[in-house]
Amino acid sequence: MTNLVITTLYEHEDFVVINKPIDVAMHDAQNGIISVYSKQRPQCKWFLVHRLDTQTSGCLILAKSSDSAATIARLFAKRSIEKYYLALSNKTPKKKQGLIRGDMKKARSGSYMLTKTSQNPAITQFFSKSVGNGIRGFICKPHSGKTHQIRVALKSIGASILGDMRYGASPSDRMYLHSYGLCFSYKGESLNIFCLPDIGEYFSEAIWPEQWLKPNALSWPKLKLQTVQE
């Protein structure tokens, strides 16, 4: 962990977007993402504004002050930041694209499950396509920020993320979920930040559909206002 170098994808006077490595936790005081990045950039005090699972890689915002952290956190709370994820599965989904929606409740040992109710639902849109070698790729757009949301969503359609053994997937060299992009406006500036995964044998071999590389330009079906606001 001491030799880990974290790539800075974008830098603003108020925050950075980094490429979070796999197996780095959010809240570990010794080896968590703030601790590791602070050793690399000790001139600034860093603040978390959102989170990724320990096994998930990709785009993560770190704020440079408590004020900017609060501002960005409000953007997430208002769903003004579009998030896009890439995932791989070696299983065939029940449907190849669409909307996965339902409440999430705690199951055993820190896992979650999707229910048929919609009191405070997790909402995820996705497209999927073969990316070679018997592997199916997914581009996912979550409209909420629930713990394990995409992992549970893909499990619910029979396509657990490769390497996500918590949710019944085949073992692999990593969990194949990556935070690919963040699109939002900040202080009048429109930001579209993307980062392809660079760790994992199956990610390196995946042939992504070209249109997925700019997911904010994809033809995502519009959600009903009521669905988004719930």
**Which pLDDT belongs to residue 109?**
86
**Which pLDDT belongs to residue 2?**
55
- Measure Cα distances from 30 to 21, 38, 41, 115 in Å: 16, 11, 16, 36
C-beta of residue 115 within 8 angstroms of C-beta of residue 103: yes
C-beta of residue 119 within 8 angstroms of C-beta of residue 89: no
48 pLDDT higher than 80: yes
* Model pLDDT for residues 78-89, shown as the tens digit of each residue: 999 999 999 999
Averaged pLDDT, 177-182: 98
C-beta of residue 81 within 8 angstroms of C-beta of residue 182: yes
* Model pLDDT for residues 203-225, shown as the tens digit of each residue: 999 999 999 999 999 999 988 75
- Which residues are known to be catalytic? 53
Measuring CA to CA, which residue among 197, 163, 160, 205 is closest to residue 179?
197
* Model pLDDT for residues 2-14, shown as the tens digit of each residue: 578 999 999 999 9
Q: Name the average pLDDT for the chain.
A: 94
Torsion of CA 145, 147, 151, 154, to 10 degrees: -50
Tokens of residue 103, six digits:
């409440």
Superfamily of domain 7-222: Pseudouridine synthase (3.30.2350.10)
C-beta of residue 117 within 8 angstroms of C-beta of residue 221: no
146 pLDDT higher than 70: yes
* Model pLDDT for residues 193-204, shown as the tens digit of each residue: 999 999 999 999
Give dist(CA 115, CA 121) in Å, integer.
9
- Helix extents (H) in 41-193: 66-77, 149-156
Which amino acid is it at 218?
Answer: L
Averaged pLDDT, 48-58: 97
Which band of pLDDT confidence, cut at 50, 70 and 90, is reported for residue 230? very low
Measuring CA to CA, which residue among 171, 181, 180, 177 is closest to residue 154?
177
**Which pLDDT belongs to residue 20?**
98
Averaged pLDDT, 14-31: 94
